[in-house]
Amino acid sequence: MDTARAVACLLVAVICLSCAAAASSRSPTVRMHRHLKRLNKPAVKSIESPDGDIIDCVHISRQPAFDHPFLKNHTIQMRPNYHPEGLYDESKSNVVSTSDAEKPMVQLWHQGGRCPKDTVPIRRTKKDDLLRASSMRRYGRKRHTTANPMSVSPTMLNEGGHQHAIAYVQGDKYYGAKATINVWAPKIEQPNEFSLSQLWILGGSFGEDLNSIEAGWQVSPDLYGDNSTRLFTYWTSDAYQATGCYNILCSGFVQINSEIAMGASIFPTSSYSGSQYDISILIWKDPKEGNWWMQFGKDYVLGYWPSFLFSYLADSASMIEWGGEVVNSQPDGVHTSTQMGSGHFPEEGFSKSSYFKNIQVVDSTNNLKAPKGVGTFTEQSNCYDVQNGNNAEWGTYFYYGGPGRSSSCP
């Protein structure tokens, strides 16, 4: 009897320990630690940025992309097979200044050092980053659909709290796009709002099957914990539902460049009636491998999105958009004062309003060409507006943006 009682007590103890271990593994603290471990790969070297970021130099073969089951045995494509031929001289690189002396565009973390060869720079995710997210599962993901210029019904205004001022083309097959984007540091009213300027490569409908590749600059206190202007990318193959993420916060984008970090601060930014700073972004589809490549400036080929990530974009894009987007959470029932672009309307012009210039598309022959039939779209032009034009120096361009809440945008 004593032996049986001892065995029973032992079984109960083992069960209790198992239950405690299971409960512990489900605790928020343990789950957060595991998620951070998945996101932050072992670093060869770490660099502290003046803005408080930590940039980890991770061996190229250990980056987050290779968590994807289809990439486990993937051979990294270290360079594109083809590069589009362009229309415009990029001798000025990433910067246009109102002074004669060219000022170099850098990422702020470069002040602390550079990553060695065969590594990629990855902005370290911190505990506070996860705590700001609505959930760990949703961290690094958008919650909205892309601007649909075909939907201008008043009932669609401010759908999901997102507003846009964009230029776009559609009606053909597109194999990439390019733009030079004026860089600013717009003011954000609420921590859960953002302001961005980007290009979209789109395929499919605006329903649940939308494919999108996006890149540009953004200010997002919720995602990054500050108001710095940062380089970013995004991708989705199902209209932002279950696939894709910002930067490299999930498996997907394969980075090959050791100089530029996704999600890191861009420095410096433009000032009103002062020096103007631009970045150049090119995204194109490699005709041989089918992967979608990204280039930053004239020197930095950053990496690629493998074609198998997408359905419609596995072939080509059906629409290209360029422009600005903000979140309007309507604090206290009124329009947000979160700025788009410079925070000033297009009619103010150069050095006051933000712009995209030399916008181009990649055609089926892998050549960059001026877009035809450019349209513009904004949900509420009294809050954020867009005006396009064309000249010899800037090619196809547009000014865009606005202050949000004002006397004309209550």
Give the separation between CA 379 and CA 176, rounded to whole angstroms. Answer: 26
* Residue 272 identity (one-letter amino acid): Y
Topology of the domain comprising 163-401: Jelly Rolls (2.60.120)
Query: pTM to 2 decimals?
Result: 0.89
Q: What are 260-314's pLDDT values in tens digits?
A: 999 999 989 999 999 999 999 999 999 999 999 999 998 899 999 999 999 999 9
| For residues 2-21, average pLDDT | 55
The confidence band for 409, taking pLDDT boundaries of 50, 70 and 90, is: very high
Residues β-bridged to residue 282: 178, 295
The confidence band for 1, taking pLDDT boundaries of 50, 70 and 90, is: low
Predicted local confidence at residue 2, as pLDDT: 65
| Cβ–Cβ < 8 Å for 96, 277 | yes
| Cβ–Cβ < 8 Å for 149, 379 | no
Query: What is residue 41's DSSP assignment?
Result: P
Q: Tokens 């202050």, residue?
A: 403
Q: Which residues are catalytic?
A: 214, 325
Q: Is the peptide bond before 268 cis (omega within 30 degrees of 0)?
A: yes
Q: What are 58-89's pLDDT values in tens digits?
A: 999 999 998 888 887 888 999 999 999 865 54
Percent of the chain clearing pLDDT 90 (strictly above): 73
Write out the two tokens for 292. Answer: 């979608």
| Cβ–Cβ < 8 Å for 182, 356 | yes
Residues 6+ apart with CB under 8 A from 192: 221, 222, 327, 329
